[in-house]
Amino acid sequence: MTLLRTTTFAIFSFAVSLGPARAAVAQNVNTQDMDRSVRPGDDFYRFANGGWLRTAAVPVGQSNYGTSAMLMEKTSERVRNLIQEAAAARPAAGSVAQKVGDYYVSFMDENAIEAKGMTPLADEMATISAISNRTSLSAYLGTTLNSEVDGLTANADHIFGVWVNQGFRDSERYVFHLLQGGLGMPDRDDYIDPSPKMAELRAQYQAHIATILKRVGLADSESRAARILALEVRIAQARAPDADAGDVFKQNNPWKRADFNIKAPGIDWNAYFTSAGVTDQPEFIVWQPSALTGTSALVGSESIDLWRDYLRFHLIEHYACVLPKSVATEDFAFYGTILSGTRQMPDRSKDAITATNGALGQAVGQLYTQRYFPPEAKTKAQAMVADLIGAYHARIANLSWMSAETKKKALAKLDALTIGVGYPDTWIDYSRLEVMRGDAFGNMRRAEAFNRLRNLAKLKQPADPAEWRIDPQVVGAVIVFSPNSEFFSAGILQPPYFDSQGDAASNYGSAGAGIAHEISHSFDELGNMYDSQGRLVHWWTAEDSAKYHAAAATLVTQFDKYCPFSDLCVHGKQVLNENIADLAGLLVAHDAYVLSLKGKTDVVIGGLSGEQRFFLAFAQRWRKVQGETVLRRQIATDNHPPGEYRSDTVRNVESWYKAYEIAPGDKLYLKSEDRVGVW
């Protein structure tokens, strides 16, 4: 999917130049992890990481372990402590700490949840039972319109979802993007794949539906479950293939309000949009027209009784985590064990942390950044980003594969690019969200309504490219191609990758390369689909594209030769886009590092020059331990190559040869004409 690209649990860091006194204690110079017995020109990955690799092991229950996993563990523990501290402290009423703490405590209070039983659902169940015709059904469906979507598909309990974002052709305003939904199982193929394995899964899902219906005392639950599954199969048959989400041009289907009655009969669209609160919206973008027309037809053709049962089941499913244990355990039995292979329910506190983050993401983010990411850290991160942008200006101006006219467009896009670091300048105002201790169901319900209305309110506002798309405490980064913006959370800006008082060389080699990698995607085959304002348009020429691919062919050949097993090599074409971004990131980050020195020579730390530490940090970004099965699966399916070979990107950079005195005869040595020059 190319409209929004998320790098979660990524490995980035940030820094600024230091004087010698502070550099001596920098937390981001990991010389203890090296193996200096290895020649850097023969195996730079093990030269940089050999000490760490000798002792690292994959923890029980995980498939791999590396720097990203370590950072995730550290950050998760920090977030847990912050939330639990807020829960114990009983802070001032109405404060973000009070809302965070009370949300968590209420979710953890299983006794209160058990005591209330299924009564929190009573009013909603009565509303569903009162549905008597297509108009009231359509009106109810409008109230379920979901503004929290996953992968640009609505959650199961909503037949459609909405993503409020700028238009594909109009960058000035937010538009209502309507998305397919309605399925209880993750994929369309789960419903239509005729294989015995999928048939068994459908049978297990039907049994799960029946069990849930029994929990609320509905008679004839087995027959009801069979009919609900049959309805979802028909919804799945109308859906667009999940793979289509990767072609954003297929999703650009603008519909006027009047089009819905003509193109998608079945739903009473007046009732639907009125209850959804968007009657004054003049235009919509329908991502998957077949799903919209097919599901709408089912609303018109299937019985009201069937739709009531469908809605009852999905209502229970949606709130299972804040309902009695008999419901929650059955929910886990299917989604946790059967679908995901997890044998034991996680500690409830983990689910409580996840739920609190989901409901009050930026409130938790405020607590996190107050303690772990002060304003001066953000200022220093922004200074590094400015160096990277300056380096990109120079690189783009000198690209051999871009025409002069294309360079103008690329530089305009670079100048318009919004990059957020750490946390938003303006936080979400949660003052109107009521969080009550002891009311887990009500808190979840009110938080959903708050977030839904906040998103829909954006439809009356001008589009804001600086709108934050990731919570600060998440370890990750997000690229939003439309609008033209990128965000790097405070969660990834911490030691050992971000030491705000640390070594510039190490941080530019790690963080700088990571951020510059992501920026490069705005100018490659992905970014070529969006202009400087995030509007959908190809801005390369055919000649640009031909030259780009000709220059990249050498990188394909280079990675085809990396073979971790005698019978398996990396597929250079499969990983090409990420490899080009790695190369661009490394080259631009090095340029930015040189800019940051302002003509001075960096200090020596641990016997390593600044240039050597820069490349060392790049190689240490990619360290990971994983078993053979996992590595083989990665090579077969992932568009990212194994970390060992990503670290070998240094082979294409002249400065690396100079820093480590790499010479002909070294195993990683490449003749100058064999080094890739895309960027």
Domain final residue pick, 265, 283, 302: 302
| Beta strands in 139-288, from DSSP E residues, in sequence order | 160-166, 174-180, 254-256, 283-286
What predicted TM-score, i.e. pTM, was given to this entire model? 0.90
Distance, in Å, from the CA atom of 419 to the CA atom of 413, rounded to the nearest integer, reads: 12
Which residues are CB-contacts of 2 (< 8 A; sequence separation ≥ 6)?
A: 246, 247, 248, 481, 526, 529
Q: For residues 55 and 166, state if they share a domain.
A: no
Does one domain contain both 662 and 557? Answer: yes
Rounded CA-CA distance 150/1 in Å is 12
Q: Is residue 593 part of a domain?
A: yes
Q: Are 104 and 83 in contact (CB under 8 A)?
A: yes
Tokens of 542: 């055919």
Same domain, 556 and 656: yes
Please give the C-alpha separations between residue 541 and each of 254, 256, 538, in angstroms, as whole numbers. Answer: 26, 33, 8
User: Average of pLDDT values for 114-123?
Assistant: 96
CA gap 148, 155 in Å, rounded:
8
Same domain, residue pair 598 and 507: yes
Query: What is the chain's Cα-based Rg?
Result: 27
In a domain, 84, yes or no: no
Neighbour count for residue 609 (Cβ, 10 Å): 15
Say what the pLDDT of residue 166 is.
93
State the DSSP code for 666.
Answer: B
Lowest mean pLDDT among 25-34, 167-176, 483-492, 524-533: 25-34
**Residues 624 and 477 reside in one and the same domain:** yes
Contact 18, 604 (CB under 8 A): no
- % of the chain exceeding 90 in pLDDT: 84
pLDDT, tens only, 165-192: 999 998 999 999 999 999 999 889 999 9
Any domain includes 31 = yes
Give me the pLDDT at residue 184, please. 94
Residue 572: band (very low, low, confident or very high) from pLDDT cuts 50, 70, 90: very high
Predicted local distance difference test score (pLDDT) of residue 150 = 41
In a domain, 122, yes or no: no
In a domain, 448, yes or no: no
Q: Is residue 115 in some structural domain?
A: no
Distance CA(34)–CA(39), nearest Å, equals 11
User: Of 269, 302, 335, which marks where a domain is finished?
Assistant: 302
Distance, in Å, from the CA atom of 330 to the CA atom of 320, rounded to the nearest integer, reads 9
On whether both 381 and 257 belong to a single domain, the answer is: no
pLDDT digit string, tens, across residues 319-341: 999 999 999 999 999 999 998 88
- We report the CATH number of the domain holding residue 54 as 3.40.390.10
Angle at 500 between CA 498 and CA 501, to 5 degrees: 120
Average pLDDT over residues 446-467: 93
Q: Which tokens sit at 176?
A: 């209502």
* pLDDT exceeds 70 at position 383: yes
Say yes or no: 528 and 651 in one domain.
yes
The whole-angstrom separation of Cα 64 and Cα 58 is 5
The answer on pLDDT for 5 being more than 80 is: no
| Whether the Cβ atoms of residue 112 and residue 438 lie closer than 8 Å to each other | yes
Question: Does the structure show a pLDDT above 80 at 476?
Answer: yes
Q: Is residue 126's pLDDT more than 50?
A: yes
Q: Does residue 315 fall inside a structural domain?
A: no
Report, as an integer, the average pLDDT of 469-497: 92
Average pLDDT rounded to a whole number, residues 203-229? 96
Q: Are residues 152 and 56 in the same domain?
A: no
Task: Pull the structure tokens for residue 302.
Answer: 């299937």
Average pLDDT across the chain, whole number: 92
Report which listed range, 449-453, 603-607, 660-664, is most confident. 660-664
Integer angstrom CA distances of residue 73 from 51, 67, 499, 620: 21, 10, 18, 18
pLDDT over 50 at 154, yes or no = no
| Residues 573-585 pLDDT 10s | 999 999 999 999 9
- Domain hosting 533: range is 7-63+372-424+465-674
- Residues with Cβ within 8 Å of 198's Cβ and at least 6 positions away in sequence, in order, are 189, 190
Number of domains in the chain: 2
Task: Assess whether 256 and 377 both reside in one domain.
Answer: no
Q: Give the H or E element holding residue 66.
A: strand 64-66
In which band, very low, low, confident or very high, does the pLDDT at 241 lie, cut at 50, 70 and 90?
Answer: confident
Q: Are residues 29 and 137 in the same domain?
A: no
Identify the domain boundary among 302, 334, 357.
302
The pLDDT tens digits of the residues spanning 22-64 come to 333 466 788 999 999 999 999 999 999 999 999 999 988 788 9
Residue 111 has a pLDDT of 97
Q: What is the pLDDT of residues 620-665, one digit of tens each?
A: 999 999 999 999 999 999 999 999 999 999 999 999 999 999 999 9
The answer on pLDDT for 75 being more than 90 is yes
CATH number for 189: 1.10.1380.10
**Which H or E element spans position 488?**
strand 485-489
Q: Strand 418-422 relative to strand 485-489: parallel, antiparallel, unpaired?
A: parallel
- Using an 8 Å Cβ cutoff, are 287 and 177 in contact? yes
Question: What pLDDT is attached to residue 13?
Answer: 29
pLDDT at position 12 is 30
The rounded distance, in Å, linking the Cα atoms of 405 and 388 is 23
pLDDT of residue 600: 96
pLDDT of residue 266: 97
Does 162 share its domain with 298? yes
- Is pLDDT of 16 > 50? no
pLDDT at 156: 52
Residues 471 and 586 grouped into a single domain: yes
The rounded distance, in Å, linking the Cα atoms of 160 and 163 is 10
Is 145 contained in some domain?
yes
